[in-house]
Structures are given as structure tokens and as C-alpha cells.
Amino acid sequence: MRRIFGVVALVLGAFLLMAAALGQFWAPSHAERTPLDVHTTTRLTGTAQKLDPTSGQVQDLQVKASNVTKSDTHKSDGDVVSFVTTSCLVIDKDNVPDCVAANDPQNRLISASSDVFASNRHTAEAVDNAKFTTSKAVPHVGLTNKWPFDAQRKTYQYWDGTLVKAVPATYAATETVGGLRTYRYDVDVQPTDAEVVQGVKGKYSTQQSIWIEPRTGAIIKQTQKQVRTQANGDPLLNLDITYTSATIKAAADQASSKISGLRLVTQILPIAGLVGGVVLVVLGLFLLLGAHRRGAHVS
């Protein structure tokens, strides 16, 4: 019986040691990947001063924005994930939905757009390859909808769709948001020539703050101030928006769940497997050697 228990202990111990090795060396590279089933909605709210083209007057408005991001599993693979994001900015009145049609009777639509891009599942860097997007997609560079796993306190290149290029997002502070420790990165784009409305050239500037949970690279909160003017300096849009409290909570909850999963796979299981494996191997050897000695003594 001692021999049987010894063999069982050795087998279980070897299994736990192998599991510990996998958790230490194999799991991180596979667990630290953007999933292929992303479907998120972020909502922002704030104010805007917008030029009314019919009256030529600048209106003070309450506004809200939404961004719906979906992964395209058919175009994604083990290393790259493809995304489609639709964005909408509307005047917040009369229980307006996240988006309205261009012919909305109350003219509540300010802007609507879509974006197709792909990114590396670990580094979150944009991947410029039509295989993962479309032949008409604008080539992206830098980070777009998240930061890399284990984000660092440094400057990253962050995609700006208006300028159609990446701009610096500089680490500014470590702050608590939604109960999580986050890194805040600031973007500061001074007035720059850009297409401020489709087919219209003018000046564009933006100041953004983006709060990142560093272990997962998830965006927990974001604020944006944006100014668009005509080439002669006349105002078109002055926007000031931030994540809603519900969006911040949802992002924090999702990041917390991901952190727990990563900790289980990359920390708890390797340690538990190593300790349990060593104990069982030692126990198995003790039982087998004891059984062998007893058999030799009997003979």
C-alpha cells in the first residue's frame, strides 16, 4: 500500500511541477493577450460650443459621445486582432440615444464616423496590414484603444484620427481611479493644420488625459478638450467631454477581473504548483524508499 501511495504522490507531484513550469514560462505570453471577442461601449458627456451654420451663431450645448468597439474574429489571428469602432457625438436633449441619423428632425447629430484598424494582441501597437483590415482602411500607427500589458511610466505614441498620425502621450502621474492604481498619460496638441470638417481645412488642437491600469493596459478613464476653427480662426467646435461614471465603473470592474485572472495564472498557480509538487515528490520518494526497505528487511 505504501508503494501505491508513493507512486501516486510522485505522479501528482510531477504534474504539479509541470503545471508550475507552464505557469511561469508559457502562460504569461498566452494570458497577456487582447481577447478576440471584444465588444465594448464607452460613453462620454460634457459641453460644446458649436457654430450653427444656419444662423452663424455659436451655440452652447450639452453633448454626449459614444464609441462602440467590436473585434472582427474572422480577420484576427493568434497575434493580431482586428477592430471596427463607430463613434457618435450628439446634442444631449430630449432623451437622445447614443446616435441619431443625419436627418434627425431635431438636428441633434454633431458628428458620426467609423474606423477600422488592427493591433498586436500583446503590445497593443497598430498593425498596418490590409489582411486584418480592408484595402481602404487608413494605416494606423501607435496605440489606439488600449496600452500594452505592464505599461511603463514613459511616453507612448497614441493615434489621432483627425491628424491621421500618432502624437505623444506622456506619463504624467500615478492616480487612483475607480478603486484602481492607474497611470495618467497626457496628450497636448497645439493648433495644427487639419481637415476639421470633411472637405474643410482649418486648425485643430486637443488636450487629453488617459488613465491606464498598467497591468492590463486597459483605459479606465479619459477626458478630452478639443478645438476646431476655420482657417481664418472663426470657431467651429469647442468640445470638453469625459467618461461617464458608469463607463469608468465598467472599465474598472473588467480590468479588476482581468488582473485576478492574470495573477492566478502567472503567480498563484506557479507558486502553489511548485510548493505542492515538491512536497508530493518528497513524500512519494519517502514512501517508496520506506516500502523498499521494509521489503528488503522482510526478505
Q: Is the dihedral of CA 263, 266, 270, 271 positive or negative?
A: negative
| 55 SS3 class | coil
CA distance 296 to 299: 5
Type of residue numbered 49 = Q
Q: Quote the percentage of the chain above a pLDDT of 90.
A: 68
Question: Among the listed ranges 7-16, 137-146, 184-193, which one has the minimum average pLDDT value?
Answer: 7-16
Strands 218-230, 200-213: pairing is antiparallel
CA distance 145 to 162: 15
Question: Among the listed ranges 13-27, 85-99, 223-237, which one has the minimum average pLDDT value?
Answer: 13-27
CA distance 47 to 61: 6
- Under DSSP, the state recorded for 130 is T
Question: What average pLDDT is seen over the chain?
Answer: 85
Rounded (10°) CA dihedral 196, 197, 199, 200: -50
Q: Is the pLDDT confidence value at 294 over 80?
A: no
Q: Quote the percentage of the chain above a pLDDT of 70.
A: 78
8 Å CB contact between 13 and 284:
yes
Write out pLDDT tens, residues 157-210.
999 999 999 999 999 999 999 999 999 999 999 999 999 988 889 999 999 999
Greatest mean pLDDT among 203-207, 255-259, 272-276: 203-207
φ, ψ of residue 38 in degrees (nearest 5): -70, 135
Q: Is the pLDDT confidence value at 18 over 80?
A: no
- Under DSSP, the state recorded for 163 is T
Q: Is the pLDDT confidence value at 223 over 80?
A: yes
Q: Is the pLDDT confidence value at 298 over 50?
A: no
CA distance 288 to 6: 5
Question: Among the listed ranges 11-25, 94-108, 146-160, 247-261, which one has the minimum average pLDDT value?
Answer: 11-25
**How would you class 154 by CB atoms within 10 Å of its CB: exposed for 0-12, middle for 13-18, buried for 19 or more?**
exposed
Q: Averaged over 7-22, what is the pLDDT?
A: 51
Which of 241, 188, 250 minimizes the C-alpha distance to 219?
Answer: 250
Q: What pLDDT score does 103 carry?
A: 94
Question: Among the listed ranges 28-42, 74-88, 96-110, which one has the minimum average pLDDT value?
Answer: 28-42
Q: Which grid coordinates belong to 10?
A: 510522485
Q: Is the pLDDT confidence value at 38 over 60?
A: yes
Q: Averaged over 274-292, what is the pLDDT?
A: 53
Q: What pLDDT score does 254 carry?
A: 95
CA distance 214 to 208: 18
Q: Which grid coordinates belong to 11?
A: 505522479
Q: What pLDDT score does 286 carry?
A: 56
Q: What pLDDT score does 3 carry?
A: 58
User: How many CA atoms within 13 Å lie on the side-chain side of 285?
Assistant: 7
Q: What pLDDT score does 16 carry?
A: 47
| 156 SS3 class | strand
C-alpha to C-alpha distances, 48 to 36, 59, 189, 193, 226, nearest whole angstrom: 35, 8, 18, 21, 9
Q: Which grid coordinates belong to 232?
A: 481664418
- Under DSSP, the state recorded for 16 is H
Q: What pLDDT score does 21 carry?
A: 53
Q: What pLDDT score does 296 carry?
A: 46
Q: Is the pLDDT confidence value at 141 over 70?
A: yes
52: pLDDT confidence band, cut at 50, 70 and 90? confident
269-298 and 2-25 are packed helices; what angle lies between their axes, rounded to 10 degrees?
160
287: pLDDT confidence band, cut at 50, 70 and 90? low
